[in-house]
Amino acid sequence: APEYPYPAGLNDTRAVMEVLIADNDTPLILSGDSAGGGLAAGLAAMAVNNAKRPAGLVLLSPWLDLTVSSASYRQNASSDPLFSAESAREAAELYLQGHPPSDVLASPLLGSVEEFPPTLINVGYDEVLAGDARQFHLKLLGASIPVQLQIVKAMEHVAVTRSLSLPGAAETFEALVSFINGLLLPSAE
């Protein structure tokens, strides 16, 4: 976006997912960070009707509600140097281009999470997207979906994707490895 607005990105990721699932017996774990976290969650929502579904979902500082209505935008405005309510509204407008932000595939927090795969959500305590992460965690719990929420103090937005030396990044990486191993490796009995 803006050249390829919603739902182009979601449709492209769906096409890739369907090829990967159809041609392979290896479990697929969807993952995304920031706006990509919203895409991954939207894709998981679309996949609930597939015969073969993703084995897991990893969301790093996910942007899950394009209505930009979480209280954390106000509460963490001074502590999140990378993302603000204003920049979120501008990005949503560029992405949606007139499409309603309440569309549940654009804003997965607003949709059903029934039959979602096991999910790991990671976010920095002081991020403006911490509210989306907390609310999605509660929604998954309410639907009895296995979910882990990791809120890391002093961690910036998607730090693990930038450098393991950043505060919270190594801790996040360890949680990712543990979560993925738990999904892919048989449990020791």
Distances (CA, A) of 152 to 23, 67, 128, 168, 172: 37, 25, 13, 6, 8
* Tens-place pLDDT, residues 49-90: 887 889 999 999 999 999 999 999 999 999 998 889 999 999
Cis preceding-peptide flag for 27 (omega within 30 of 0): no
From the list 61, 70, 137, 157, the catalytic residue is: 157
Our answer to whether residue 107 is catalytic in this structure is no
Q: Where are the domains of the chain?
A: 8-183
* Tens-place pLDDT, residues 130-153: 999 999 999 999 999 999 999 999
Q: What is the pLDDT of residue 24?
A: 81
From the list 61, 107, 127, 137, the catalytic residue is: 127
pTM: predicted TM-score of the whole model, two decimal places: 0.95
Our answer to whether residue 157 is catalytic in this structure is yes
Return left, alpha or beta for 152; rule: phi > 0 is left, psi -120 to 50 is alpha, else beta.
Answer: beta
Q: What is the pLDDT of residue 133?
A: 98
Residue type, 50: N
From the list 34, 70, 72, 107, the catalytic residue is: 34
- Which residue in 16, 12, 61 sits closest to 37, CA to CA? 61
Which pLDDT band holds residue 45 (cuts at 50, 70, 90)?
very high
For the domain spanning 8-183, the CATH number is: 3.40.50.1820
Our answer to whether residue 127 is catalytic in this structure is yes
